[in-house]
Amino acid sequence: MTSSEQSDQQQSEQQQPDQRGVVFPAGPDGRRSTAAVGRAVIADALRPVDPTGARAAEHETNWRGGYLTHLRRTVEAGLASPAAARAIAGAGLDSLHTRMRVAGPDGEVALGSLRTASPRRSLTTVEVRGEAPPEQELTLPWRGERLRGDDVRRRLDAWVGAGMVEPSCADAVRAVLDHPEWLALHGRTVVVLGAGAEMGPLPALLRWGARVAAVDLPRVELWRRVLETTRRGAGTLLLPARRDHADPAAEAGADLVAEVPEVAEWLLGLPGGLVLGNYVYADGATNVRVSAAVDALTVRLQQQRPDLALAFLATPTDVFAVPRDAVAASAAAYADRSRTAKLLGRPLRTLSAGRLLQRNYVPGADPGVNDSLVPQQGPNYALAKRVQRWRATVARTDGATVSLNVAPPTRTRSVVKNRALAAAYAGAHRFGVEVFEPATSNVLMAALLVHDLHTGGGPAHAHPWQDEAHAAAHGGLWRAPYAPRSALGLAAVLGSPAPAADVPPRSSGALARATGSSRGTSCTESPGDSLHEIADPHPVPPIPAPRPGRSWGTAGERRENGEGAGQGTPGSRVGAASGSVGGPPRCTAGAPADRLLGMDTTAAQQARAPR
């Protein structure tokens, strides 16, 4: 075991005395190794179709540093055939359910026991109705305005033209515009696991008059915010509570990691066709624990409700097979670089040992493979998100309605308060990537959910990768000229705060010329000048310092950090939507760009150094 793995285990993998519910298996030394489980699950997933890849994953000595290759391989190996992709998904889920455990007062049992385990307590239903009339049309918040009708259509056209969303995404939203009666989702109950998630659909659905069943941890302030959102909306909120109370927030909530049977029995008693929406996120090892718990909940509900529909948000910072059109658009953008960018790109690649400004795809690839994994996210985050994609694939194969859409990079509160992440996002538009505002992403993804539920999960495709790529709102990552990991380090340098007055000014001219762009001030500016123009650099406004965190729950594993670790809800195991959606999960504030993005940005720093 490498020293980095030993440190990782000591910090987040060691058994905690009060761990209950879904846990990692304990080894002979009593440690619950996330690396061992992650390595084994990925190897087991690959084994049916790629035995060589499975062996490589099994023998990876530095899982935290080397997991990216093996996660990518699970996508590449699945491209051989639809059957191969489905075999990988099924084997990965089987491995997870075989290896994860459930810790209770009487010892530990297999994760599969949750399919039939009896609840230890009953949850009562509290119903709260909104006080506003339902919105009768789809409106889209964008840069401080609320777009309607033709303005929404023009914005969709602009995003498609700029390569920020796939054309099928715009088509799906246009269909919702044409059918405003879809918005209320009559006859359905949408379960939002992670009710406080900044990227979850709860606010939009309630404005549209839908019925929403909300699940999150029992946190009074969180539930007061949810209840206030409900009252401002037009829908109906159903929430689980220990008992009736004058203040529902005081009794609401459940812990999915420890209460799968309780939540399952509560959900089975709700009216309407159930839609199980997975918007959960947690820090570190707990992210895998809560993802495994939600998957166990899914299997249990499917046994008793065969009509159960599933909903997920896929992170854009993952590996996806992408259509030929996206590859061609990326190749065109690469060929259209400025003459100066072409001349300086080669020395930058040389100085960085080939890691800077790599092409996004092999020209002509069909499909291409977009690798937007960010190393600092870590293997636990990547595995948790991959479990969701595997479940979506298996459920579609079984005939279920599934809504899984790639959401755009989003400037959530957890991103903005981290200097390194905020800097990368502030400079991302210079490389053809738009970072969306949370309000825009929230409504856009909720509209795609509505579309999917009214169209049986969208059109049928021959291969699972096509299901995942359909209607993707990737923010430009798929159609940008450069492979994301080879450019976002430079984006972090370009987007970093302006130096203090007593620090000699730095010149970013060389780097700007190398990328064909200048420094920018906004992570949502138009990317029109991102690759082709040279301009004088201008200062970037300072980025707020992170808010101090507060410990919570299981010692050393769960944290509450301001508005949440991943997507803007207080450090919740069932609260924040995948850091996926709003970008990489939280890391140490001020982390250097090379550590954040897993690449050497020395060349970029030299380009910015005082002359």
Same domain membership, residue 198 and residue 308? yes
Q: 280 and 390 share a domain?
A: yes
Same domain? 107 vs 164: no
> Looking at the structure, do residues 74 and 204 belong to the same domain, yes or no?
no
Q: Among 68, 89, 112, where does a domain finish?
A: 112
Amino acid at 422: A
Q: Could you tell me which residue, 52 or 510, shows the higher pLDDT?
A: 52
What mean pLDDT is predicted for residues 241-255? 88
Residues 255 and 199 in one domain: yes
Let me know whether 285 and 321 are in one domain. Answer: yes
The residue segments making up the domain with residue 168 are 120-338+375-413+436-480
Are 465 and 79 a contacting pair, CB within 8 Å?
yes
Task: Work out whether strand 309-314 and strand 402-406 pair parallel, antiparallel, or are unpaired.
Answer: parallel
pLDDT at residue 390, as a whole number: 98
Q: Which amino acid is at 540?
A: V
Tell me what percent of the residues of the chain surpass a pLDDT of 70. Answer: 78
Whether the pLDDT of residue 518 is over 80: the answer is: no
CATH code of residue 459: 3.40.50.720
Average pLDDT over residues 83-111: 95
pLDDT tens digit sequence for 258-272: 999 999 999 999 999
Q: Distance (Å, rounded) from C-alpha 398 to C-alpha 310?
A: 12
| pLDDT tens-digit series, residues 269-309 | 999 999 999 999 888 899 999 999 999 999 999 999 999 99
Residue 134 burial class via C-beta count within 10 angstroms: exposed 0-12, middle 13-18, buried 19 and up: middle
| Of 115-124, 128-137, 243-252, 361-370, the least confident | 243-252
pLDDT at 498: 60
Q: How far is CA 525 from the centre of its chain?
A: 22
Hey, CA dihedral for 554, 253, 263, 381, is it positive or negative? negative
Q: Please determine, for residue 551, whether its predicted confidence score (pLDDT) is greater than 50.
A: no
Burial of 306 (0-12, 13-18, 19+ CB in 10 A): exposed
Whether residues 87 and 206 share a domain: the answer is no
> Are 293 and 185 part of one and the same domain?
yes
- Number of domains the chain is built from: 2
* Tens-digit pLDDT profile for residues 128-177: 999 999 999 999 999 999 999 999 999 999 999 999 999 999 999 999 99
Task: Give the residue-averaged pLDDT of 114-135.
Answer: 95
Q: What is the pTM of this model?
A: 0.82
Res 414: pLDDT: 67
Using alpha carbons, select from 235, 249, 545, 279 the residue that is nearest to residue 419.
545
* The pair of three-digit structure tokens given for residue 396, joined into one six-digit string: 């579609």
Q: Is the same domain home to 167 and 276? A: yes
Q: Measured between alpha carbons, how far is residue 275 from residues 97, 140, 199, 402, 413 in Å?
A: 22, 23, 17, 9, 27
Are residues 73 and 220 part of one domain? no
Domain end, chosen from 63, 90, 112, is at: 112
Q: Tell me the average pLDDT across 455-471.
A: 96
Highest-confidence range of 501-505, 514-518, 554-558, by mean pLDDT? 501-505
Environment class of residue 387 by beta-carbon count within 10 Å: exposed (0-12), middle (13-18) or buried (19+)? buried
If pLDDT is split at 50, 70 and 90, which confidence band does 417 have? Answer: low
Residue predicted with more confidence, 303 or 377: 303
Per-residue pLDDT at 610 exceeds 60: no
Query: Are 137 and 104 contained in the same domain?
Result: no
Q: Which of 381, 592, 348 is nearest to 489 (CA)?
A: 592
Residue 88 covered by a domain: yes
- Count other Cβ atoms within 10 Å, centred on residue 506: 18
CA nearest neighbour of 327 among 356, 373, 358, 359:
359
The answer to whether residue 552 is domain-embedded is no
* 3-state SS class at 535: coil
- State how far the Cα of 13 lies from the Cα of 128, in Å rounded to an integer: 40
Asked which of 480, 505, 539 is the last residue of a domain, the reply is 480
Whole-number average pLDDT of the chain: 82
Q: In one letter, which amino acid is 240? A: P
CA 407 to chain centre: 7
Q: What are phi and psi of 535, to 5 degrees?
A: -140, 165
**pLDDT greater than 50 at residue 238:** yes
Tokens of residue 232, six digits? 């401002």
Average pLDDT (513-537) is 29
Please name every residue paired with 403 in a beta bridge, in sequence order, or none if there are none. Answer: 311
User: Residue 14 falls within a domain, yes or no?
Assistant: no
**Residue located via tokens 């075989």:** 98
4 falls within a domain: no
**pLDDT > 90? residue 375:** no
DSSP letter (8 states) at residue 363: T
CB 260 within 8 A of CB 100: no
Say which range, 33-47, 114-128, 495-509, 514-528, has the weakest mean pLDDT.
Answer: 514-528
- Alpha carbon 381 to its chain centroid, in Å, reads 9
Indicate if 255 and 139 belong to the same structural domain.
yes
Residues 6+ apart with CB under 8 A from 186: none
**E strands in 372-505:** 402-406
Domain membership of residue 519 (yes or no) is no
CA–CA separation, 42 vs 26, rounded Å? 19
CB atoms within 10 A of CB 75: 23
